[in-house]
Chains A and B, each alone.
Chain A
């Protein structure tokens, strides 16, 4: 089942149109994304799931302007990313996209606060104090702002990373397995915070995950398989997600749980 693109839907924060991504040539040619079209609603929390190698990270990288498409188009808000050069893409990432990676999100030499304001510092802009306070209060690490990353727990580090992503009020936040390295408690902390940022700050969040429980925090789950969108579930519960994933295992005879 394929989600058809609603033409120029005003509510889409990010959108892919027949997005294809091919790696390598000849024998090593891999089609990571095969004409994927998907709309990611503004102010919603979308989870992307699928077996390992199905193209989740690739899709996210393309949507976030970290990687270029082989063909097709990618929109962030109203901007067509496929028409931008490196400098414009860099500016777009700085001003309109927030990132959370699985690991290594923070610069070790900077304090938590400095890491949060990093994109704005790079741009030479003064952060909006009120918003920043709001974000910091939401992550609840006000007393740890002067600490360096190695003085924070993994969960706290990821929360700082999310705060950094939020601080510049991006059009969308992209998170690739943000809880992959965390225990369930820290994971819940980060996921709860992402959920909060959608509910209380109307942020758009796109998250790749392998964990059905993590996916249950989302408003919608999009399933990828072999570089194509194969299914989606609205208002997912962990049971329904798990159910759907089992079918992958059945049909593909392979485990989708490794990172």
Chain B
């Protein structure tokens, strides 16, 4: 029996190739993601171990901020350094300054580095034991007016030793001379972040209070990290945190893992969609191989093979394909990881290349995924194969009896209608529940559609095929497409899944853009907005400079700060209660803005309901600087510019957070022409290249661009699923050409030209593709609309359907159909007439 399996595998090599490719692509995506993130993880862990010392002292903070907004830079008094140095067993120690928000301006006047990546300022230390910086050129900064920068920033900013450089800091703007260029550990920079190192005295001026952000020390020979840490702790006053270098490295690694996990999940979701689509292709291949081998299987049964043996032989074949596919996928995945790494390096996110990490887990996952996916997909065809009646061996034209579609129609309709009901009821539900209902509804609809596919195939094909009914070959092609509704549906459904997602995201994206537009129209009442170009908060000096411009009536600053509310980490928005109502439509449902000063807290209506907040209630809040208690003074509708917790900026100041602004709303004074104000405003912000001035139209365009970038990424990732679906069409067509060799021969014998034959295959392909596209677009449209309705109260309140895009998807599907037919049509046309009619 094994020999029969292997022989059959060898005989159908080519036909199994495309299923193999589907497995390879899906597995490669998964393996590539794992290899890439594992490599990132190891790279950073090494970087952290390389660059940490034995003991690290930091100011005690309420919590470790993971938002990256950097609301505070807490410091240790400078004199603690001497205390630490004096601890018994300490070889050496040094005070470290490391603070966010120091942006290096390149020679082109633009901030260096990757958009959104943090930018740090630090003090310089020449001691290689205590400093992660390794000079590659020049020397360390020793005096005010000198700076050393990381090599990546030097490269992208076009800066070299001896060049003057401008730096934007949370404090004043600084001009200095580049005296050195360094690498961070073994890397060009710290994961894309830029670093500017100053003399210690100059660096300390970046801090809100004099001192250091941390003190790091090296143990003397024979003293363990733990022992030393304990001694340091004992020597220092309360309010400081002492950790061993190992603990710090672990902590950093843990934070990193969390971040990478997110990327992992994001990419893996798309990888699994691709694999799922691939299963349809595999299912089809095996169904068709089983159908073609009916006589052979019947013969096996006739000479005594049991049903189980037949099933096993088909599954065995699938297992081998899956195993090979999984292994190849692993290889392709590793290549993919290399490509990703190159790509990241290209955008300035240089990573030290110390080889890729192919964890045993990755190998296992790849092989198992390939194996399991293929075997599961081949299970139904295998079962069908085992039901081949032995008598089929005696007859030439047996087809396995087609099972009735009745049960399928009923089950599919129940699932589908259940899904529609869930979707329809979702807008009535609140918050989480609404999203859950949409998810459930979408799943039911999708499964329902997959089950209903074969039922819908015949009528749908006839409908779509009506376009081609004028020619006889067109009619035959359409009939062929409708001939095996299961196969056509399986092929089309694979395309449907991709298009459903693409369409749903398209609707969601368009709605997001339209909603933000609407929000900006309704909510933003000012003429101009000043915001950061790299999403990092900026110095209040900008606000001062803008306010001094003649004709500016009002400048209202908005700040953000990480905070713990009821133990959960969130972001607090700080506003100026006196002016915020003039620049944003912040409409209170209850309470009053006036009470915000002096420890008041606003929450949005949704949260107030979810968390049961009441006016006057005290809420425990912790900023990084320490815990406090805020009183709920009002709730507001979150349809506006922001959502979540809002406090007065003064509350953040009182908490001791570094004053940094996130955005400034600027309004011309009454009687001043807003447009005429622009040149003066541009001049005012010129010294701060990290910020930009936008009017409402520009602001909208920027948001639209951001949404579109994300959409483009999602489309690209879904592209793989669509590609596999296209391979599925090619696969189905090639296999049916093989299956219909004699028919094609007959058609050619009675006078069908090659061209007509190619046309036939093309029509069949287009009909299948358009069927899948129609299903996908309709479903995706439904899901998109339901999703928008469900999250309307979270800011996506306008429904916008990108009709143009949908039409484009439809047209592209037709084109895809034509392309998918190219190869199968060539094969069909090349068939030798004589051989074809005499094939057994």
Contacts and interface: CB of A to CB of B under 8 A. Distances in A.
Contact of B834 (A66, A103, A104): A66
A95 interface: yes
Contact of B746 (A67, A86, A107, A150): A107
B746 A119 contact: no
A99 B476 contact: no
A244 interface: no
A118 B472 contact: yes
A99 B750 CA distance: 7
Given A104-B742, A109-B480, A118 B753 contact: no
In this complex, the member of B471, B476, B747, B751 whose beta carbon has the largest number of chain A beta carbons within 10 angstroms is: B751
Interface stretch (A7-15, A121-129, A134-142, A209-217): A121-129
Nearest to A121: B472
A79 interface: no
A91 to B, nearest CB: 7
In this complex, the member of B471, B479, B753, B756 whose beta carbon has the largest number of chain A beta carbons within 10 angstroms is: B753
Contact of A164 (B747, B750, B752, B834): B750
Interface string B715-751: 0000000000000000000000000001100111111
A164 B751 CA distance: 12
A123 to B, nearest CB: 7
A221 to B, nearest CB: 24
Contacts of A144: none
A70 B834 CA distance: 16
Interface string A135-179: 000000000000000100000000000001000000000000000
Interface string B463-489: 000000001110110011001000000
A119 B837 contact: no
Contacts of A123: 751
Given A101-B837, A104-B742, A122-B473, A87 B747 contact: no
A66 B479 CA distance: 26
A18 interface: no
A90 interface: yes
A186 B471 CA distance: 34
A124 B751 CA distance: 11
Contacts of A87: 753-754
Interface string A72-109: 00000000000000110011011100010101111111
Nearest to B751: A94
Given A61-B834, A109-B479, A91 B753 contact: yes
Given A66-B833, A66-B834, A86-B754, A107 B749 contact: no
Interface string B229-245: 00000000000000000
B742 A90 contact: no
B79 interface: no
How many of chain B's residues touch chain A, expressed as a range? 20 to 34
Nearest to A90: B753
Given A107-B743, A109-B476, A109-B480, A94 B750 contact: yes
B396 interface: yes
Contacts of B837: 66, 101, 104
Interface in B570-598: none
A110 B749 contact: no
Contacts of A119: 750-751
B483 A90 contact: no
A108 B473 CA distance: 15
Contacts of B754: 86-87, 90
B221 interface: no
B834 A93 contact: no
Contacts of B749: 66, 93, 99
Contacts of A66: 749, 833-834, 837
B397 interface: yes
Nearest to B750: A119
Contacts of B397: 150
A64 to B, nearest CB: 8
A61 B751 CA distance: 14
Contacts of A110: 476, 479
Given A99-B749, A118-B750, 20 more contacts: A61-B834, A66-B749, A86-B754, A87-B754, A90-B752, A95-B751, A101-B746, A104-B746, A107-B476, A107-B743, A107-B747, A109-B480, A110-B479, A118-B747, A121-B475, A122-B472, A122-B750, A122-B751, A124-B472, A164-B750
27 contacts: A61-B834, A66-B833, A87-B753, A90-B752, A91-B751, A91-B753, A95-B751, A101-B746, A101-B837, A103-B396, A104-B746, A104-B837, A105-B746, A107-B746, A107-B747, A109-B483, A110-B476, A118-B472, A119-B750, A121-B475, A122-B472, A122-B473, A122-B750, A122-B756, A124-B471, A150-B397, A164-B750
Interface of A: 61, 66-67, 86-87, 90-91, 93-95, 99, 101, 103-110, 118-119, 121-124, 150, 164
Pairs A-B, 8 closest by C-beta atoms: A94-B751, A121-B472, A109-B479, A119-B750, A93-B751, A90-B753, A119-B751, A122-B752
